[in-house]
Amino acid sequence: MSRVELHRGYGHEVFRVWQTAGGPSPDRLIWPLFVVESPRAREPIPSMPGQFRWGVSRLREALDKPVAAGLRAVLLFGSLQGGKDPFGRKADADDAPVPRAIRALRTAYPDLVVIADVCLCSYTDHGHCGILTSEGHVDNDATVRRLAEVAVAYAAAGAHAVAPSDMMDNRVAAIRAALDAAGHRTTAILSYAAKFASCFYGPFRDAARSAPAFGDRRAYQLPPGGRELALRALERDVNEGADFVLVKPGLPYLDLVREAADRVPVPVLAYQVSGEYSMLLHAARAGAFELSTALHETLTAFHRAGARAVITYFAPQLVAEAAVRLAVRSEPGSHGGRRTPLNRLTTRRGRPLA
């Protein structure tokens, strides 16, 4: 019989929250962070106002307040300026930014869930998500072997979960086998199972310095209208050992979030991607709406569709607002007996305040 292992999907208290249905709460937010080689860097990202590329030595500057307010999970991306090659060798070098950041965060914040994105696009000199053939096409099998190596390195550094975002065929099975063989049986896999070829990734490619040098990624990312392909990809990745699956982008694909939640037997997450972040931020700054209200409405939509957690660049703002509301409700004279909507106020552990 094939081994079917469930423990890694609920071994951490945050993962246990994701295994249950519920509305927006700090436990269900994941903040994506870009880390660079220069340890003292704090580089503004022009296309994503308010977001930065961070050096490992300054990660506490980024995270102390959000973690104190209730942030429970981060997703790490590397962003290199130089040293790239056709095989993405810098992705898992011992002194590379992501392994260094994992080790630093596990030491500084023992209870914080650290997830590491697994892809090659930020590390290859051609900017594609895999190793290329001599004809310039992605070599799926060679790429999968390389991704498995990177995933093992991130697990060895201490990542609670690895998140393959490359969209190669059968990479979840290869990563699972490699993790198990290396003794990392408890490292979870969060698979970008339904990742669409989307224009909403533009600011991210600026932040991660990962734009393709030629061509595009439509041959391996899903076509926006590919509903059946997405459902097949979701089911395949679950069968290969994914502990969580992701739909990306988020708001334009809420129908797929709902279908995934109805169909697959693992928690479904959604990614409010860089283009969604910039769109909402610029619209709010132009006076189209109040940002906080819009964020809570979009989070409600994600959870209504079935998402168990949301990756969002607004996570620090959202956990800070939740902490303020909690403090207000705790003040003497507050109406502590009146129930408040989940999208307005939750405890740090995700339970509604009564």
Convert the pLDDT of each residue in 226-240 to its tens digit: 999 999 999 999 999
Distance from C-alpha of 136 to C-alpha of 42, rounded to nearest angstrom = 35
Told to judge if 248 belongs to the known catalytic residues of this protein, a careful annotator would answer: yes
What is the rounded average pLDDT of the residues 257-265?
98
Strands (E) across the chain are located at 29-36, 42-44, 52-55, 73-78, 113-118, 161-164, 188-195, 244-248, 268-272, 309-312
Is residue 335 very low, low, confident or very high in pLDDT (cuts 50, 70, 90)? low
Residue 208 burial (CB count, 10 A):
24
Convert the pLDDT of each residue in 47-95 to its tens digit: 999 999 999 999 999 999 999 999 999 999 999 988 899 999 999 998 9
Is residue 330 very low, low, confident or very high in pLDDT (cuts 50, 70, 90)? low
What is the rounded average pLDDT of the residues 108-116?
98
pLDDT above 80 (res 352): no
Query: Considering only CA atoms, which of 169, 4, 209 is closest in space to residue 88?
Result: 209
Contact present, 205 and 211 (Cβ < 8 Å)? yes
What is the rounded average pLDDT of the residues 286-290?
97
The continuous run of DSSP H or E covering 59 comes out as helix 59-69
Structure tokens at 177: 């086998």
Which three-class secondary structure state does DSSP give residue 268? strand
| C-alpha of 67 from chain center | 17
pLDDT above 50 (res 113): yes
Query: Considering only CA atoms, which of 76, 72, 70, 29 is closest in space to residue 53?
Result: 76
Q: What's the whole-model pTM score?
A: 0.91
Instruction: Give the dihedral sign, CA 303/31/277/326.
Output: positive
Domain boundaries, the chain: 7-330
Topology at the third CATH level for domain 7-330: TIM Barrel (3.20.20)
Convert the pLDDT of each residue in 128-158 to its tens digit: 999 999 998 999 999 999 999 999 999 999 9
Is residue 327 very low, low, confident or very high in pLDDT (cuts 50, 70, 90)? confident
Three-point CA angle 32, 33, 37, nearest 5°: 150
Distance from C-alpha of 132 to C-alpha of 108, rounded to nearest angstrom = 38
Convert the pLDDT of each residue in 166-210 to its tens digit: 999 999 999 999 999 999 999 999 999 999 999 999 898 888 888
